[in-house]
Amino acid sequence: MIHNIKNNIDIRNTITDSNLRTLACSQFFTRKAVRYTGRNEEWIDLSSHNSLMNNSTIADFNTDVTINVQNQSKVMVNCHIGVSDERGNGFIHLRLGKKVDGEIVWGTSSGITTTRDDELTDPKGDNTLGPNPSSNRLESWDYIFTDRTQSIYTMNPSFVDSNPTNSLTGNHDITYFIRIRIETKNGSTHSLDIGQSHSISSPNRVCVPTILAAYELPVKNILL
């Protein structure tokens, strides 16, 4: 009996070359804060493909995180972001963007779109319940309502991507990025802050980093 138990332990602990492979992992981290003005009611891809990056209306805030994984891998994506707005009554929404070998899967080619909802397969809610779903529901990964300009509001969504290569076989470079949108009352213009509270009227205001991390989850092939 003891011999059989030992044999079982030896078999279960057999390590193959695939188990020794270093798992893919990458992280975007910045202490930088940005403010976007006049970009209400738009999804902004905080990514290298955004055609307005590095100009006066969209400050450079490239959250791209790239890892190389194979088909049938699973990737955990974690996000931490703090937001605020100029008037303290905005709804700020997040969605997860993705590119496979540079081709956009979740996002828009220009990096900016006024389309509120679409048929992308990114993690988000379903707006079909209720009247006029396309106008009174907004499909998001996460959102926050900002009711004070002196405060910063943090969001921490996560997602396990069980099809990171979009069903392509072999290994591919997968890039994740943050998409952000501010909805405002009656279409009024608000500035959107990332990483800091809007108000700076006292020394008690807060700044937080922005983090987007993607890491491949281990898959064990246990021999029985």
Per-residue model confidence (pLDDT) at position 201: 75
Angle at CA of residue 43, ends 39 and 45, nearest 5°: 105
Q: Which residues have a Cβ under 8 Å from the Cβ of 62 and sit 6 or more positions away?
A: 46, 47, 48, 50, 53, 177
Of 194, 71, 80, 92, nearest to 144 by C-alpha is 92
Tell me the pLDDT band of 176, cut-offs 50, 70 and 90.
very high
**Residue 47 CA: distances (Å) to CA of 37, 63, 130, 185:** 18, 6, 33, 27
Tell me the pLDDT band of 223, cut-offs 50, 70 and 90.
very low
Between 171 and 13, whose confidence is greater? Answer: 171
Q: Which of 119-133, 159-173, 204-218 has the lowest mean pLDDT?
A: 119-133
- Terminus-to-terminus CA distance in the chain, angstroms? 17
Between 170 and 37, whose confidence is greater? Answer: 170
pTM, full prediction: 0.86
Between 53 and 80, whose confidence is greater? Answer: 80
